[in-house]
Structure formats: structure tokens, C-alpha cells
Amino acid sequence: MHSRTLLTFGETMGRLDAEGIGLLDGGRPLSLKLAGAESNVAITAARLGADVTWVGRVGPDGVGDLIERRLRAEGVSTRALRDDAFTGLMISSRRTSAGVRVDYHRAGSAGSRLRPSDLPQELIAGAGVLHVTGITPALSAGAREATFYAVDVARAAGVLVSVDVNHRAKLWSAQEAAPVLRDLVARADLVFAGPEEARLVLDAPNDAADPLTLARAVAGLGPTAVIIKDGPRGAVAIVDGAEHVAPPVPVHAVDPVGAGDAFVGGYLADLLDGADPATCLTTAGRTGAYAVTVPGDCEHLPYRHELAAFAAAEDVAR
């Protein structure tokens, strides 16, 4: 690696959380937080001790101010480029206790107007890991161009490229997404995906293959490391041809949104610290499990000492 810095970019939004359970109406208070896969990863990794830089566009509004202020407060080196469009929003609510409903308001947002010139070559070439997601190329043609530009610059500079497939059906259809995500995965060194996302990239049937077989098939596209995140069923990885399995961490789920990003942030923080794949996978699983036990995308993610205490409690519970 060129350095121990994690570089990531993408859209960060405001997240409005409706308190309680029931219809979303004027009688329920809303709290304002942050949301965004890449900034979730950035904050997770920073809290675990990594050197992290985030780049993105925000609007000339209070939500944009909050994003810039919060990321910097988390110790993330922040390049919040001001745009004259609005900062995107997501609204999270619970109609019942069975799950969380998420609605996005981001079409035409500042974050969707990212372009290659926002990402200096020297910034990319100086990173240890460039992390991108499949969300950014779904936002606009310019954001898609910026994603592949950054990946190509990183590859040319010998920077490790990390990709979280992160297919968002509300942003683009599987038919539109599949060839783009397959191309992105083929250029990556390290890939994170859920089982359904792996099948999407592979153009495989929905019931095809177990996670390890899926990981090997995705690795056949080019990446040297593939991690399949399978939520409450744990995770598996193929790294340089070797298999790794991380069992699930049993927890009481409070808010599942952002758990996959926490998983990725935990893995990358350990990777930048020189840990072996098994250790990275264990840390990732514990960080993702911790994330579902607390509300919000990133506000209550663990610091390294809290993760150690969480792991100790998990070991005692076993």
C-alpha cells in the first residue's frame, strides 16, 4: 500500500428519523442525523483508528453544514464541495415494529452532481485504499464517470481498490445496474457484496449457490479478495484463493440501516492496520453486529475500546 489512508467519496444526506412506531404524520417528532454509505464507512474506520478522507458535494443549506461539521468532528479529513443544488434527504420510519421504511429524496441533489474534476489525481494516487460503492454510479452520468475515473487512476497508481456492490433498487433497476456493477467489480482488488448482489453481478439465478461458491465465482471476475456479507448468517471470504468463514454474532437488532457499511469500515480499518484476512473479517462482523444494536446510520458506531468490550461480552455469552 502507498499509505495507510482510506479515501472514499459519494453522497451523504440528511436522515430524518421519525420517533416511535406508526403512521408518519404531524404528531411524530423527527430527529436529524446523517446517512450515506461512504460516509458511514469513513466514520466507522476513523473511530477504529484509521486515517480517512471523504469527498462529496453538499448544498448551501443547513444539512450540508451539518454533514461537513459532523464528518470533521469525527476526525475524517473532509472535502465537502459546495453546490447550488440541495443536499439530499432520507426519511426513516417504522409503520410497525417489524422493520424500518426508508424513503429517499435525492434526485437532482448536490451529491448526485459529483464529477471527475472533484477528485484530484494526487489525492487518489496517495491513498492506501480507494473505497467506492455501487450507489454512486447510480446517481447520475457524471457520478458514474467520476467513479470509474477514480478507480482507473487508483489502479494505474497501484492503489488498492475496494468496491461494495451496494445495489439500490430505488435508484436503478437490476437490468440497468448489472453490467455497470460487473464492470466495477472486475476492476476491483477487494469486493463486498450480499448474496443477492453477488448473483446480480454474476447474472446467476436468485437461488444459485452458497455464499462461498458465490465468492469464488465473483473472484473469477478479477478481484483477489471477495467478502460475502450475509447479515444474521455471518460472512464468508475468499482471499488469495483461501476460504475464511465468520460465524454470526447474535444480537438484538434495533436499527439495521448502515450495518453493512459498518462491516466494511471495520474490515478496511484492520486491513490498513496490516491485519490478516481472518482478523479483518472478525472485526468486520463484530462492527456490523454492534451497528444493528444502536439507532442511526453512524452516530453510535463503536470506538476501538468499545468494540473490544463488545467482543469480550460476546465471548462471555458463548
Q: What is the pLDDT of residues 109-140, one digit of tens each?
A: 999 999 999 999 999 999 999 999 999 999 99
Q: Please give the pLDDT value at position 94.
A: 77
- Bridge partners of residue 162, in order along the sequence: 131, 190
Question: Which of 243, 240, 241, 245 is closest to 284 using CA atoms?
Answer: 245
Phi then psi dihedrals of residue 285, to 5 deg: -60, -40
Band of residue 56 on the pLDDT scale cut at 50, 70, 90: very high
Query: What contacts 24+ positions apart, CB below 8 Å, involve 209-214?
Result: 211/235, 211/236, 212/236, 212/238, 212/243, 212/245
pLDDT in tens, 1-27: 557 899 999 999 999 988 878 777 766
**Residue type, position 16, single letter:** L
Question: Which of 176, 223, 218, 222 is closest to 201 using CA atoms?
Answer: 218
Phi then psi dihedrals of residue 117, to 5 deg: -65, -15
Q: At what angle do helices 259-272 and 277-292 cross, to 10 degrees?
A: 150
Write the CA distances from 230 to 16, 136, 190, 247, 254, integer angstroms. 27, 22, 17, 10, 18
pLDDT at 318 over 50: no
Write the CA distances from 192 to 151, 243, 258, integer angstroms. 16, 15, 14
The three cell numbers of residue 61 are: 443549506
The CA-based dihedral angle spanning residues 93, 96, 98, 101, taken in that order and rounded to the nearest 10 degrees: -30
Cβ within 8 Å of residue 95, ≥6 positions away? 21, 22, 23, 24, 101
Q: Please give the pLDDT value at position 295.
A: 61
Q: Please give the pLDDT value at position 317.
A: 41
Q: Print burial letters for 105-119: b (CB count within 10 Å at least 16), e (below 16).
A: ebeebbbbbbebebb
Q: Please give the pLDDT value at position 312.
A: 62
Band of residue 256 on the pLDDT scale cut at 50, 70, 90: low
pLDDT in tens, 170-223: 999 999 999 999 999 999 999 999 999 999 999 887 777 799 999 999 999 999
Q: Print burial letters for 81-103: b (CB count within 10 Å at least 16), e (below 16).
A: bebebbbbbbbbbbeeeeeeeee
pLDDT at 315 over 50: no
Write the CA distances from 222 to 160, 215, 219, 240, 267, integer angstroms. 13, 11, 6, 11, 20
Q: What is the DSSP letter of 225?
A: E
**Residues belonging to the active site:** 261
Cβ neighbours around 209 below 10 Å, total: 16
Distance CA 300, CA 298 (A): 6
